[in-house]
Amino acid sequence: FFQQTLTAVKNWFTLFGWSNGQNPISIPHSLRRDVCKAQMTSSHEKDFKQNLGKDTKTLHDMLFHLSGQLLPGITSSRSLPLDPVERMLQLHGQHSTLLAFLKSQGAYLPHVLPEFLLEPDDYKRWIKVQTVLKVGDVKNSDIYSNKHLFILEDSTFEKMSKRVWTDLLLQVYKVFVLPCVSSHSVTDLSNLEGVQNMPRIKSEPLSSNIYSPYERTILTWLNKHYEKSRKTVWRDCQKGEVPPMRWIVNFDRDLLDGLVLAALLAAYCPYLIATHFVRMYTNPRTPEQFLHNCLILVSAMHTVGLAIDIKV
């Protein structure tokens, strides 16, 4: 499940996270590496000059594209010191600023420490500095004021790095992309015929500790179109009866059988009903029937050009 989430995040940010078109990313490697346009090390100076020139897109470029804001005190063209320790300290400070900025926008990242966003070698330097130097000998005590020091093995650090970078991008999506979802075009469920008795999804900010108001707007949208379309889409179904009413409250279990997404797609592309959706199981019970439905849904998405890196 986590690998599928990582792949979805990587694909979305590759396609839509940047100005002027696509920019392939890898999690966490390219995000850790491409932090400055003029990043150099003494041993690989020529390589970095060649690979990280002025046209390199950085994490700060992505944030500016999505939010329209620059991180306080940080510019995308800022270079890093050649000294490894000084470079690590500057990067740690930049990551601290990044996390503070995202949290001020509503991101939830209590488990992400700035050092977890560093390259493996820089993380080792950070641990060494923290364990060797005494607080009283440090000129800039703010840098070394962490009360908790997590010393991770190489393999564990890589797993942690991949996880925190994925979580960071998910929170970037939550605070800068989802707020663009408008609730003005979503019809109130209580106005739809036959759904007066269906529980409503509350839009108040504190009504859920899992989903944001924008995510609940999307759930409302899914409920609306499923209930509005299910009797029409599967009126002449070949593999069962009209599917029953359901209350869609999450984005995993309630979408597994493909019926909700098919009803949503049929609401906008009704011509797909006769060619695709009538062949779906309306009460799937086995993994094979679930797969059958999802293959039909993917085929329909390919037909209308909505399949973003979806392979059958």
How far is it, in rounded angstroms, from Cα 69 to Cα 53? 23
Per-10-residue mean pLDDT, the chain, length 312: 89 90 90 66 40 66 88 69 88 92 91 93 91 55 56 91 95 90 55 54 62 82 89 86 88 91 92 93 93 93 76 58
Q: Output the pLDDT for position 176.
A: 92
Burial track 96-117 (b if 16+ CB lie within 10 A, e otherwise): bebbebbeeeebeeeebbbbbb
How far is it, in rounded angstroms, from Cα 119 to Cα 122? 5
Distances in Å between the alpha carbon of 55 and those of 32, 52, 80?
Answer: 17, 7, 16
Q: Output the pLDDT for position 69.
A: 85
Q: Output the pLDDT for position 171.
A: 94
- Residues 6-40 have pLDDT tens digits of 999 999 999 899 988 888 999 999 988 887 654 44
Instruction: Identify the bridge partners of residue 239 per DSSP, sorted by sequence position.
Output: 281
Instruction: Identify the bridge partners of residue 281 per DSSP, sorted by sequence position.
Output: 239
Q: Output the pLDDT for position 78.
A: 59
* Terminal CA-CA length for the chain: 18
Q: Output the pLDDT for position 237.
A: 84
Q: Output the pLDDT for position 76.
A: 54
Query: What pTM did the predictor assign?
Result: 0.62
- Residues 277-302 have pLDDT tens digits of 999 999 999 999 999 999 999 999 98
How far is it, in rounded angstroms, from Cα 305 to Cα 230? 23
